[in-house]
Chain A
Amino acid sequence: MSHQALIAILLLSPFVGFLLNGLRYRSQNYVLAGSIATGAVFVSFICSVMLMMDLIAAPADQRRLTANFFEWIAVGGFKVNAGFVVDQISSIMILIITGVGSLIHLFSIGYMHHDKGVTKYFAYLNLFVFNMLILVLGDSLLTMFVGWEGVGLCSYLLIGFWFSDAAKAAAGMKAFITNRVGDAAFIIGMFILFFSFGTLNMYELNALAPTTVEASWLGAATLGTLMLFIGATGKSAQVPLYVWLPDAMAGPTPVSALIHAATMVTAGVYMIVRLNPMFVAAPNTMMIVAIVGAITAVMAATIGLTQYDIKKILAYSTVSQLGYMFLAVGVGAFGAGMMHLMTHAFFKALMFLGSGSVIHAMEGEQDTRLMGGLKKYLPITHFTFLMGWLAIIGFPLFSGFFSKDEILWQSFASPRGSVFLWVAGAIGATLTAFYMTRLMALTFWGKSRVPKEVHPHESPVIMTIPLIVLAILSVVGGFIGVPHLIGEYLGHIPNYWAEWLAPVIKTLPEAAAPHTATQEWALMTTSVTLALISAFVAYRIYTSGKGTNEAIAKAFGPVYNVVNNKYFVDEAYFGGIINPLVKQSQNLWMYIDVNFIDKTTHVISDMTKGAGSLARSFQTGNMQQYAMYIGLGVVVVLTFVLMR
């Protein structure tokens, strides 16, 4: 089959699934709805695999399959096609989206079967996959933006899926509007790039990227990429626009796994990798990206320490892990960023689905204080979760280890890295190990705190199969990109990942400072040791039952209070921006429209009326009055004539 046809089927299959389920949205036949939706995404997965095989078969410098369907917008010099590209970068993304996506769809059949809106749910989920595929395959920033806003819309619909609950509907709205703040900047970024380089096609932009790095903050590449990055902070939940993601946990748990962990939230990272030559030309932007990533990684991890809702912990963990990816791309380690994007998709989707399995077993309960000791009731969920835990804390040879280690090393060794970035990353890794171990201990280990009326039970096979597959990927997924140093040590394992991406990744123009293997080993050992110690401490505290929030609040005092309240960021936004804005808008309406403009209009009309009444007083119809006017008139005229 030609690759145009493959790309068309890849894109349209989830859309057809959306239509099939959307048109019969009232149906409660979850098997049919789930089969259609899962099948639709699986068809796309097959297409992705076939496209990937075509790519692998092609010579390294010709790995680019394009499909141009029609001219979308053409005004003056501005032309954008409905054009899609599968290359080294987007092929990885479509495999993740459709592969992990299929598993999550499958899991949903079990998870959502009792829900009245199950068909609608699957319709939305398919629509999301369709938009996500447009996002990653679009060949220009504007086609990417179509998917970018489209996934935001689906996210809005799915977060507010149980819309009767006001808080959930509000969470959906918050997600959309926060994203729009980023999107507005993204639009401006597109304008800057278009008017400076004359195109929005990403390949052309990359080819036109300045060859000498821009030192100025006001250069086109710098300003343009900076604006795009602000867009990314919205979609990928980075400081300062991350606030919507924790609230987004209001949606069904598989949605959190698919949209708010594995795919949509990584769009910002993908966008930067996609445009890497442009970002390389803008070191100032990259510095901001790295700093924002490092701050987010640490800040979100600290909030994760204090949460008790199992999904909220995972949500803050996601924000933090996304911070790592931005740290990576910010120091120019684009391959490592993409690698962490993939391994994170595996282990975080796994853990979100695992938490779904736990919530399912606990009959809807999400508070880890009411869990504990679930290991014996949920053996498969526990074991697979354990694999995810080992991957995320960076236990040697698990997938997260390779990607995170590479990021930490690059944040130090890259010409655009710094020891401070490494320290932030290492602190983040230590905190990650702590809160994830805490999550494991509170949920699965220690004594059971499950209320008597709840009877936890292992989930059905349709839910455990995706867990098992994702667990396997979380364990072995890292071997595709073994860092050079470890590869040598393990017996010459080549870094397939770096080789694959090399043709589309621009290397930094600055010469790297010389670094020794000893340094690399030392840093690696330090961060891994810190993480392991931290995990051990958390294990001791939380399995012994000493780790109550009262005890910790006492130990840390006001610091705990600030962190537990998520640094009061939401409160600051509401108190500092949103509430004053609404209040001032009320004033605009009352004072400008009603009291000023309308009052002025009324004054003018009253004056006209007044003049009218004055004129009316001359025309009463009273003959005697008229006679008097005539008499007066005659006198006036006569006086005038005679006086001359």
Chain B
Amino acid sequence: MLLSVVLFLPLVFAAILALWPQKSTIRHLALGFSLIEFLASLAILRNFDANSAALQMVEQYAWVPRFGISYFIGIDGISLMLIMLTTFLTPIIILGSWTSIADRVKGFHVALFVLQTAMMGSFLAMDAVLFYVFWELSLVPMYFIVGIWGGARRIYATIKFFIYTMAGSVLMLLAIIFLMRLTPEVTGGSISASLLDFYKLQIPFVAGEFFTAQTLLFFAFALAFAIKVPLFPLHTWLPDAHVEAPTPGSVVLAGVMLKMGTFCYLRWVIPLFPEAAEHFAWFFVALGVIGIVYGALVAMVQPDVKKLVAYSSVSHMGYVILGIFVMNQYGVNGALYQMLNHGISTGALFLLIGMIYERTHSRMIAKYGGLASALPVFTIMFIIVTMSSIAVPLTNGFIGEFLILMGSFQYSPMAAGISVLGVILGAAYMLWMVKRVFFGPKGEIVTHAEEDKEHALHDLSVREWVVMTPLIILIFWMGIFPNHFMDYSKKSVDHLISNKHNYTLEVK
């Protein structure tokens, strides 16, 4: 019951907000709701048994019995921390958009809560059709968030985002239907959409032949998820979407939505198509490695801070894909950790960029310079988050990146040798940006603000402190005591790696 409550509470909140008559209290109400949701998710954490790889808190009710479709949800170590990430980020997003979202406040918060349910649904769903519904549902609120509250080219960006993702989903839907048609083999005659039944399928695989069932199904799923991640060369929708999205949109997108893609490799692709995944692992490893280096290089030459961070996401998500497809303990544990890290540090970077954009209405690096003397606290926060982003030890980023590199070294020293370039390039693009924005002589914006008293730059407000503090705490907490977080997922990851050829989840 608890899992369903956490899953649908945001939807209920969205309905209440939609009917709420008083415009002035919408934000407060939404913040309160998101905190309640976070507390509810803490109850999941408390009841979760970290010593088991089983699917826990399972709920299953028939939905369309004729086709074996059910409302079937459950949680394991792989999805747990992503649920926590979602519920943790939502209040921060609401508080972070307190002043930046000025009109249609109600609509915005309704969209945000619908999105929350949709994203959590795709992490929790254990039924293919249910999963597909949540997966597609998540597109709709995001479409509105970018399309209504976005920047000048928002319509172009939002259509690009929508169509890219849809193109992948269509193939996935076909693949799901195909899999459902196979299920009678394992259920004794009746059709089923349950992922657990899918796991039992032995889908024929012939190495070296592309047109076999398993290979085609593998690519249908893998493509849909690769677009979401996004994996090079399917990444170009992301910089556009980020640049046009309002700050909270960027935070959700980078913080949680991209992880839907990487998570699904662990939940769907590898256990369903283990032979194909192993056979084509080199291909995904290669794309991950290219993504790491390519994203970093292109990030380096971006004139817009937000676009720079967007390309850095391509690089960071390249690490995650690399970690997943080397399919060893170091790689997968590191990848899972890196998903959380990226959500926190890139989310924090987008929030910080949003704060400065609200003050100056510019994101052009060339117009900045000397910001550190005008906004010292903001600068310190930005540098701390930068350190997390470039994986300095004792911040969360290091643990993930190091484990992924270690896993990739075990898979192929050459892959590690190339992707370790990301360690150097990451420092280069971030610190070069920090230097041009914060250090050096005062740039156009700072000089202007000093001359014009009305537009003087103010350092962080109390609200912004409250927004940033939990993120900063987590950056160090996760860097110094990774076991506090990783212990929840180790069992499940272990189980996946050692049993991927006949993967199944015990139900508890």
Closest residue to B330 on the A side, CB-wise? Answer: A75
Q: Are B441 and A145 in contact (CB under 8 A)?
A: no
Q: In the complex the two chains form, is A173's CB within 8 Å of B431's CB? A: yes
Q: CA A75 – CA B491 in complex, angstroms?
A: 11
The answer on a CB contact under 8 Å between A605 and B163 is yes
Per-residue B-contact encoding for A163-197, CB less than 8 Å = 1, 0 else: 11110011011001100110110011001101100
Binary CB contact string for chain A from 149 to 174 against chain B (1 if under 8 A, 0 otherwise): 11001001000100111100110110
A424 to B176, CA, bound (A): 71
Whether B482 lies near A72 (C-beta < 8 A) is yes
Residues of A contacting B442 in the complex (Cβ-Cβ under 8 angstroms)? 164
Report A554-593 residues with CB < 8 Å from chain B CB: 581-582, 584-586, 588-589, 592-593
Our pick among A25, A72, A195 for the contact of B409 (Cβ within 8 Å) is A195
A73 touches B482 (CB 8 A): yes
Let me know if A582 and B300 touch, CB within 8 A.
yes
Given A150-B394, A605-B163, A187:B423 Cβ within 8 A: yes
Of chain B, the residue at the smallest CB distance from A223 is B413
A101 to chain B, nearest CB (A): 21
Is A164 a contact partner of B421 (Cβ separation < 8 A)?
no
Are the C-beta atoms of A177 and B298 separated by less than 8 Å?
Answer: no
Q: Beyond A75-B330, A173-B435, is A188–B372 a contact (Cβ under 8 Å)? A: no
Q: Which residues of B contact A74 (CB under 8 A)?
A: 483
Give A593 to B234 CA distance when docked, in angstroms.
10
Contact of B393 among A70, A150, A584, A588 (CB under 8 A): A150
Flag if B439 contacts A164 (CB, 8 Å). yes
Of B163, B298, B370, B442, which is in contact with the most chain A CB atoms at under 10 Å from its CB? B298
Given the contacts A145-B393, A153-B387, A586-B301, A164 and B424 also touching, CB distance less than 8 Å: no
**Residues of chain B within 8 A of A169, CB atoms compared:** 435, 439-440
B476-495 vs A, Cβ < 8 Å mask (1 yes, 0 no) = 00001111001000100000
Interface size class on chain A is 35 or more
Determine if A78 and B406 form an interchain contact, defined as CB atoms under 8 angstroms apart.
Answer: yes
- A582 surroundings in chain B (CB, below 8 A): 300-301
Which one of B3-11, B62-70, B95-103, B397-405 is at the interface? B397-405
When distances are taken between beta carbons in the complex, the residues of chain B under 8 Å from A195 are 409-410
Total contacts A to B, CB within 8 angstroms? 126
* Complex Cα–Cα for A582 and B297 (A): 8
Asked whether any CB of chain B lies closer than 8 Å to the CB of A76, the reply is: yes
Question: Which B residues, 73 to 122, have Cβ-Cβ distances below 8 Å to chain A?
Answer: none
CA distance in complex: A188, B370 (Å): 37
Q: B330 to A184, Cβ gap below 8 A?
A: no
CB neighbours of B413 from chain A (8 A) = 188, 191-192
- In the complex, what residues of A have CB within 8 A of residue B360's CB? none
| B329 interfacial contact with A, CB 8 Å | yes
Chain B residues near A172 (CB-CB < 8 A): 435
Given known A73-B482, A153-B387, contact A176–B431 (CB-CB < 8 A): yes
Are B297 and A585 closer than 8 Å at their CB atoms? yes
Q: Nearest Cβ distance between residue A454 and chain B, in whole angstroms?
A: 26
A150–B391 Cα gap in the complex (Å)?
Answer: 11
Contact A585 B370 (CB under 8 A): no
Q: How far is the CB of A75 from chain B (nearest CB, A)?
A: 5
Say whether, besides A146-B394, A150-B393, A585-B298, A191 and B441 are in contact (CB < 8 Å): no
CB-contact partner of A188 in B163, B297, B394, B420, under 8 A: B420
Is A71 interfacial (CB-CB < 8 Å)? Answer: yes
Contacting pair B297 A191 (CB below 8 A) = no
B365 to chain A, nearest CB (A): 14
Q: Among A73, A153, A173, which residue has its beta carbon within 8 angstroms of that of B432?
A: A173
For window 355-384 of chain B, which residues contact chain A by CB distance below 8 Å? 370, 372-373, 376
Cβ-based interface call for B233 (8 A): yes
Min Cβ gap A501→B in Å is 29
Complex CA–CA separation, A338 to B409 (angstroms): 33
- A590 and chain B: residue at smallest CB distance: B301
How far apart are the CA atoms of A184 and B419 in the complex, in Å? 10
Residues of the B chain whose Cβ atoms lie less than 8 Å from the Cβ of A593: 236, 239, 298
Query: Which residues of B lie under 8 Å from residue A70 when comparing CB positions?
Result: 481
Contact of B392 among A25, A150, A165 (CB under 8 A): A150
Give the docked Cα–Cα distance between A564 and B428 (Å).
28
For B163, B392, B442, which residue has the most chain A Cβ atoms within 10 angstroms? Answer: B392
The distance in angstroms between the C-alpha atoms of A146 and B479, with both chains bound, is 11
Among the listed B406, B428, B439, which residue makes an inter-chain contact with A160, where contact means beta carbons less than 8 Å apart?
B439
B488 CB, nearest partner CB in chain A, Å: 13
Main secondary structure of the interface of B (DSSP, over half): helix
Q: How far is the CA of A177 from the CA of B431 in the complex (A)?
A: 8
B410 touches A164 (CB 8 A): no
- Interface residue A597 (Cβ < 8 Å from any Cβ of B): yes
Q: How many angstroms between the C-alpha atoms of A191 and B413 in the bound complex?
A: 9
Contacts of B438 in A (CB 8 A): 163
**Interface of A: prevailing SS:** helix
Whether the Cβ atoms of B300 and A184 lie closer than 8 Å is no
Chain A residues with Cβ below 8 Å from B370 are 164
| Bound complex: CA A194 to CA B405 (Å) | 13
With contacts A75-B490, A187-B402 taken as known, whether A163 is within 8 angstroms of B483 at the C-beta atoms is no
Question: Are A191 and B440 within 8 A (Cβ)?
Answer: no
Query: How distant is B162 from chain A, measured CB to nearest CB, in Å?
Result: 12
Give A164 to B435 CA distance when docked, in angstroms: 10
Among candidates A75, A589, A598, residue contacting B329 with C-beta atoms closer than 8 Å = A75
What is the CB-to-nearest-CB distance from A231 to chain B, in angstroms, rounded to a whole number?
A: 12
Interface flags for B408-431 (1: CB within 8 Å of A; 0: not) read 011001001100110110011001
Residue of A nearest to B393 (CB): A146
Kindly state the separation between the CA atoms of A194 and B416 in the bound complex, as whole angstroms.
14
CA distance in complex: A425, B239 (Å): 55
CB proximity to A under 8 Å, residues B288-322: 294, 297-298, 300-302
Q: What's the minimum C-beta distance from B281 to chain A, rounded to whole angstroms? A: 19
Pick from B297, B421, B431: contact of A588, CB below 8 A: B297
Q: How many angstroms between the C-alpha atoms of A25 and B376 in the bound complex? A: 10
Q: B233's contact among A145, A156, A181, A597, by CB below 8 Å, is which?
A: A597
Contacts of A184 in B (CB 8 A): 420-421, 423-424
Does B333 count as interface, using CB distance less than 8 angstroms?
yes
Known: A164-B370, A177-B428. A76 touches B441 (CB 8 A): no
Q: How far is the CA of A592 from the CA of B480 in the complex (A)?
A: 39
Chain B hits for A180, CB < 8 A: 423-424, 427-428
Chain B residues contacting A164 (CB-CB under 8 Å) are 370, 373, 439-442
Q: Are B424 and A181 in contact, with the CB atoms below 8 A?
A: yes
Pairwise interchain contact A183-B423, C-beta atoms closer than 8 A: yes
Minimum CB–CB distance for B222 against chain A, Å: 18
* CB closest residue in chain A, given B429: A585
Of the residues A71, A173, A187, A581, contact of B405 by C-beta under 8 Å: A187
Q: Is the CB of A163 within 8 A of B399?
A: no
A40 to B414, CA, bound (A): 45
Contacting residue for B440 out of A145, A149, A163, A176, CB 8 A: A163
The reply to whether the CB of B160 lies closer than 8 angstroms to some CB of chain A is yes
Is A548 interfacial (CB-CB < 8 Å)? no
CA distance A169 to B443 in the complex (A): 15
A585 CB to closest chain B CB, in angstroms? 4
Q: List 24 A-B contacts (CB under 8 A).
A: A26-B376, A73-B399, A73-B483, A74-B483, A75-B403, A76-B329, A160-B435, A163-B440, A164-B441, A165-B441, A169-B435, A169-B440, A177-B431, A180-B428, A187-B420, A188-B420, A191-B416, A195-B409, A581-B300, A582-B300, A582-B301, A593-B298, A597-B236, A605-B163
- Chain B residues in contact with chain A, CB under 8 A? 160, 163-164, 233, 236, 239, 294, 297-298, 300-302, 328-330, 333-334, 370, 372-373, 376, 387, 392-394, 399, 402-403, 405-406, 409-410, 413, 416-417, 420-421, 423-424, 427-428, 431-432, 434-435, 438-442, 480-483, 486, 490
Which 5 pairs across A and B sit closest by C-beta, in order of nearness? A169-B439, A76-B329, A166-B440, A163-B439, A585-B297
20 further A-B pairs in the complex, CB-CB below 8 A; given A164-B440, A165-B441: A70-B481, A75-B330, A75-B333, A75-B490, A149-B392, A150-B394, A156-B431, A160-B435, A163-B438, A164-B370, A164-B441, A166-B440, A166-B441, A172-B435, A177-B431, A180-B423, A183-B423, A184-B420, A191-B406, A588-B294
